[in-house]
Structure 1
Amino acid sequence: MPPHFSPPAADEQRPSPPTPAKTSGRQRLAGLIIALGLGLQIARLAGANGVAPLVGIAFWLAITLLWRDLPTRNRRQVGALAAIGAALLVISRILYGETLAWEQVLDGNIFVVAMLVGVSFIGLINRRPPSPGTRIRGGRGVITTWLSVHLLGAILNLSSVFLIGDQLKRTDGLRLPQLLTLNRGLSSAAFWSPFFAAMGVAMGLAPRLDFAVVLAAGVPLAALSGVLTRLELARRFDLEHVEGISLSPHDLLMPVGLALLVLGFHYGLTPTLSIVSIITFLLPATALAANLPRGTAFTAKRMVQHTRERLPTMRGEISLFLAAGLFTQGLSTFIDAATGGQWVLFEHFGAGEAMLSYLAIVASAVIGLHPIIGISTLASLLDLDSANQTLVGMVALSAWAVGTATGPLSGINLSLQGRYGISGGVMMRHNLIYALVMSLGVCLAIGLLAALAGAGGQ
């Protein structure tokens, strides 16, 4: 029988809860500043370019206020990335006389951070809690659970894992096959979901990325994840008494509706804006519209509560993306200054180079680095203007999807450890075969994209 996992002891480190019972004045101030940063970014998208330098300042100021609340591991990682990036900028200026646009130094990954803050407002859209769902045992339960967390997670992100995991846990605890299913169902949404930070990072690096092509490649890869999870777990575990869950179609209406709304804006109403930019303003606006029928006082109360309580809990992801953006700027500036802009990692970024880059990022995730670090390093070593940006984006999304599933220190595995008591090392070991097979599929997809780009003359 697959092992059970009981909840961790109360004194073990847990991820920050989505809505803390009480926040300090410092945390509430940080939440207000994060909301201000989002508002400034929306104004920037509307054409108020003069506020652009203030966006980064707002987010960095908020993280400074929340610094003491970050777990030690996060502080070390974020601090190292930011310190290395800043040091490389200073070296580039002092030793090589590089001209720096200081007003843009804090701007790295700002579009991603603003999108993440905007996505958080989904929690204010009035929706019923997911129904208890149909309980299904065996292999069918694995695939229905994977599909439920995948579709919900494509919009709701990590909260979908807790919504479904907590329901499964009530019956007989959580078994390892169920935890692996939750892990892979969520992480594989990074292959295609425009609501994931992975897509924001990919589009930030490669703004000319063809989303339709990425969708055409990413959805089959996500489907491969589901099929592989079903077959592999059935081979390795006795699933006869392992329970799965199938949510009702009604539970999926909200995520599907939001996805269609975003695509409608992108391909119809605002075709000049990237999907990341559309999500940044559209989701808070949708949350506002969903609450207004209950009165302005009610709406204002919920918005203020979200700002003061939910936004400060995003300190981990916001700080990581800000630090990774500064690191990318520092490294790329230093390389350009030291080589006169004449050196890049690859003279040509084709299928072989893309596969090698993907494998390197996944390998770094397995040893404990978040994929954003490997992706940022790659971006600073490439000539992104001349590279096939759809191929670059595909590498970033695929490395994120497989790397976060496998990496013992990824957000999903740390959250599963905190919530359900399963260690990241155990998850990593049980996902190695999965990562290997998924990597074969990713390399095949990269080869096909490169071949199509070559046939199209790109």
Structure 2
Amino acid sequence: MPATTATLSARQAVAGCLIFAGLLLQISGFTKLDVSSIPVSYAFWLAVLLLWRDLPTRTRRQSGVLAGIGLALLMAAHVYYEADIAWPSILDGNTFVVAMLVGVSFVGLIGARRGSSRPLGRPITGARGIASTWLGVHLLGTILNLSTVFMIGDRLARQGPLSMPQYLALNRGLSSAALWSPFFASMGVVMTLAPDMHYPQVLAMGLPLAMVAGALTVLELSRRYALDEVAGFSLSPRSLLMPVSMAALVMLFHYGLTPKLSIVSIITFLLPAVALASNLPQGVSWTLKRFHQHTITRLPAMRGELTLFLCAGLLTKGLSTFVDAATDSSWRLFAQFEAFEAVLSFLAIVASALVGLHPIIGVSVLASMLDLEADRQTLFAFVGLAAWAVGTSVGPLSGINLSLQGRYGISGKQMMCANLGYAFAMTALVITTILLLKPLGMLA
């Protein structure tokens, strides 16, 4: 038995090193070294293969189906339509997004000091507590992502078992951040699929919608539940310092220091660099120890999301290649991508999330069947982000709901049923926003 444990630990450590190597290769590509995406993708895929047996059965099955369909479509395009396939590069789909996710993971090393353990704040109760919980998860989650749910959820759990209002505040606070946060995987995906999107316009649409989602959550939960004894998380100004500072740094690099790099690229190298700089004052050996520990423990633990994103990228490449080969690059799902088509696309992705598909699948498949002009990429990006935000909140197999289930025991079906009304309301708001874009001058 000890030998088996040692073998598993060694395998996972090697996989973590490969993931870290993929990140370094991706960052090298931003320099004059100009490293291609091929070695980056190989490093990530090798890590996935090493970690495959550790994946939950559901994730393994879904990822295997995605990758299998992608490969089958590539083979069909090559055999039946004589498409010229660049086989060495078929695995590089979504490597930009995966590298960004790996880079963002290093945020856990920022600001931590030897022996420090600051409390997250005193819990409060009532509607104010729910509002504070939602806002805390939302703002901190823009940078820390899913780890914020565990930080705040564990803090609330010290007061007793979590209640449904607390679960819903955690769920909706994080999922709604997908509407606008540049640090979320959702933004990385749409920026990769729609490189000419205008982030300021997406921010102008997504941030107000997220705030409305928060207000809707507080009002709805206040009506449905007695909140007098429901503990909430008290957000302190100190806890906002890190996400606000990181957002400001990203904007500084994007608009000043490195304007030629996309926001996804900047996040990929900036967060690990800040983590390195914040730990160096504690000593080189301390810094190396923390980075080593992060590499061999935290990075392999990301196997689920990394596998899903890579396999979805392979599916997208296979589908787009097959469609182009079969139709001589002339068929598209829609002849144009206007408000009506955007609404249909949004509804289709949310519906697919309800039956258990991750929104990245719907967004990626949609992109592969469109020929988006530059002036329609912002609309596509908003559709993808909105579908991601609503779909992950209500989808029983979304990452946030699976995490809540695994950590605290709440079932995905219960979360889905409790979120249906919220999902319908958010769907109506998103559709209204899409239909108003042209009258408001935000859609040419």
Give the TM-score band, short-chain normalised: over 0.9
How far apart are residue 384 of structure 1 and its match? 2.5
Aligned partner of 2:312 in structure 1 is 324
Q: Report the residue type matching 1:242 in the other structure.
A: V
For residues 275 and 6 of structure 2, the distance between their equivalents in structure 1, rounded to whole angstroms, comes to 22
Asked if 1:264 is matched to 2:249, the reply is no
Aligned partner of 1:172 in structure 2 is 160
The structure 2 residue matched to 1:95, chosen from 76, 80, 86, is 80
Q: Report the residue type matching 2:330 in the other structure.
A: Q
For residues 325 and 454 of structure 1, the distance between their equivalents in structure 2, rounded to whole angstroms, comes to 30
Asked if 1:247 is matched to 2:235, the reply is yes
CA RMSD in angstroms, aligned pairs only? 1.7
1:130–1:163 contact (8 Å) kept in structure 2: no
How far apart are residue 51 of structure 1 and its match? 3.7
Asked if 1:195 is matched to 2:195, the reply is no
For residues 192 and 224 of structure 1, the distance between their equivalents in structure 2, rounded to whole angstroms, comes to 13
Residues 285-321 of structure 1: CA deviation (Å, up to 9, x unaligned):
1011111111111111111111111111111011000
Aligned partner of 1:226 in structure 2 is 214
The structure 2 residue matched to 1:104, chosen from 75, 89, 102, is 89
1:131–1:248 contact (8 Å) kept in structure 2: no
The structure 1 residue matched to 2:409, chosen from 421, 434, 443, is 421
The structure 1 residue matched to 2:145, chosen from 157, 161, 171, is 157
The structure 2 residue matched to 1:370, chosen from 358, 369, 381, is 358
Asked if 1:37 is matched to 2:22, the reply is yes
Aligned partner of 1:61 in structure 2 is 46
Q: Report the residue type matching 2:301 in the other structure.
A: T
Aligned partner of 2:379 in structure 1 is 391
Asked if 1:439 is matched to 2:427, the reply is yes
Aligned partner of 1:276 in structure 2 is 264
Asked if 1:126 is matched to 2:114, the reply is no
Aligned partner of 1:113 in structure 2 is 98
Structure 2 unpaired stretches of 5+: none
For residues 431 and 117 of structure 2, the distance between their equivalents in structure 1, rounded to whole angstroms, comes to 39
For residues 309 and 100 of structure 2, the distance between their equivalents in structure 1, rounded to whole angstroms, comes to 11
Aligned partner of 2:346 in structure 1 is 358
For residues 86 and 451 of structure 1, the distance between their equivalents in structure 2, rounded to whole angstroms, comes to 43
* Residues paired across the two proteins, number: 437
How far apart are residue 271 of structure 1 and its match? 1.2
2:320–2:368 contact (8 Å) kept in structure 1: yes
The structure 2 residue matched to 1:217, chosen from 183, 186, 205, is 205
Aligned partner of 1:144 in structure 2 is 132
Aligned partner of 1:10 in structure 2 is none
State the percentage of identical aligned residues: 61
Structure 1 unpaired stretches of 5+: 1-19
For residues 420 and 66 of structure 1, the distance between their equivalents in structure 2, rounded to whole angstroms, comes to 25
Aligned partner of 1:14 in structure 2 is none
For residues 454 and 252 of structure 1, the distance between their equivalents in structure 2, rounded to whole angstroms, comes to 31
Asked if 1:337 is matched to 2:322, the reply is no
Aligned partner of 1:181 in structure 2 is 169
Change in 2 beyond 3 A, CA 1:129/1:438: farther
For residues 427 and 303 of structure 1, the distance between their equivalents in structure 2, rounded to whole angstroms, comes to 36
How far apart are residue 52 of structure 1 and its match? 2.7
How far apart are residue 48 of structure 1 and its match? 2.5
For residues 395 and 388 of structure 2, the distance between their equivalents in structure 1, rounded to whole angstroms, comes to 10
TM-score between both structures, scaled by the size of structure 2 = 0.95
Change in 2 beyond 3 A, CA 1:181/1:454: closer
1:349–1:387 contact (8 Å) kept in structure 2: no
Aligned partner of 1:400 in structure 2 is 388
For residues 451 and 97 of structure 1, the distance between their equivalents in structure 2, rounded to whole angstroms, comes to 46
Residues 175-199 of structure 1: CA deviation (Å, up to 9, x unaligned):
1011001000011000011110000
How far apart are residue 206 of structure 1 and its match? 0.4
Is 277-286 or 243-252 further displaced after alignment? 243-252
How far apart are residue 255 of structure 1 and its match? 1.2
For residues 292 and 326 of structure 1, the distance between their equivalents in structure 2, rounded to whole angstroms, comes to 39
Residues 312-369 of structure 1: CA deviation (Å, up to 9, x unaligned):
1111011000000000000011111111111100011001100110011001101111
Change in 2 beyond 3 A, CA 1:132/1:111: closer
Residues 219-241 of structure 1: CA deviation (Å, up to 9, x unaligned):
11110110000011111111122
TM-score between both structures, scaled by the size of structure 1 = 0.93
Q: Report the residue type matching 2:100 in the other structure.
A: M
1:354–1:392 contact (8 Å) kept in structure 2: yes
Asked if 1:207 is matched to 2:195, the reply is yes
Match of 2:182, SS state, is coil
Residues 388-431 of structure 1: CA deviation (Å, up to 9, x unaligned):
00001001111111100000000000010011110000000010
2:26–2:35 contact (8 Å) kept in structure 1: no
Match of 2:223, SS state, is helix
Match of 1:433, SS state, is helix
For residues 343 and 186 of structure 2, the distance between their equivalents in structure 1, rounded to whole angstroms, comes to 18
How far apart are residue 49 of structure 1 and its match? 2.9
Aligned partner of 1:72 in structure 2 is 57
For residues 449 and 273 of structure 1, the distance between their equivalents in structure 2, rounded to whole angstroms, comes to 28
For residues 141 and 427 of structure 1, the distance between their equivalents in structure 2, rounded to whole angstroms, comes to 20
For residues 413 and 117 of structure 2, the distance between their equivalents in structure 1, rounded to whole angstroms, comes to 32
1:187–1:401 contact (8 Å) kept in structure 2: yes
